[in-house]
Amino acid sequence: MRNTLKLLAVVAALAVPLSAQGGSDTKGKFFFKKTCKSCHATGGSAKEVTPLSKTQAQWKAYFAAGKHNKGKEAITTVLKPEQVKDVQTFLVNHASDSPQPETCGG
Ligand code: HEC
């Protein structure tokens, strides 16, 4: 019983920082398709962007800078900060050099 409690405490301690930093891949895919793709698709108003447009390191750097539209605006003007985090998670997880590259249906 004591050990179980200890184990639970350790699990809880580990889970908090993980959920705090990590966005949701699934939600990110949804927001990416719904919002980003509304401009960034073939024939859209901006050039096509897919997870494969960048490597994992390049996507991380892109979101760390937080700029969009050639540096003219913050990426958070497009989506809420927590949604941007989800999109970042999706794009990094499926970047060109990721274990599961994904084109997001073009
Ligand atoms: C209202 C239209 C619109 C939406 C929505 C949009 N973008 Fe953009 N985006 C642009 C325009 C315009 C540019 C600059 C011209 C270009 O690169 O085609 C741009 C540029 C970019 C670039 C190239 C580098 C840069 O910043 O100039 C990336 C990467 C990018 N957007 C990612 C995203 C992501 C990720 C999302 C969703 C969170 C998103 N965009 C949503 C219009 C949009």
| CA 58 – CA 49 distance, rounded (Å) | 13
The first and second tokens of residue 103, run together, are 């084109």
Is the shortest distance between the CB of 47 and ligand 1 below 6 Å? yes
Is the shortest distance between the CB of 52 and ligand 1 below 6 Å? no
pTM tops 0.75, yes or no:
yes
In a domain? residue 17: no
In a domain? residue 69: yes
H or E element at residue 86: helix 81-93
| CA 50 – CA 52 distance, rounded (Å) | 5
Domains identified in the chain, total number? 1
Question: Which of ligand 1's atoms lies nearest the C-alpha of 32?
Answer: 37
Question: Which of ligand 1's atoms lies nearest the C-alpha of 35?
Answer: 5
In a domain? residue 16: no
In a domain? residue 15: no
**Domain limits for position 94:** 23-106
* Structure confidence by residue, pLDDT tens digits, 15-58: 544 444 589 999 999 999 999 999 999 999 999 999 999 999 99
In a domain? residue 91: yes
* Structure confidence by residue, pLDDT tens digits, 75-87: 999 999 999 999 9
In a domain? residue 8: no
CA of 100 relative to ligand 1 center, distance in Å: 23
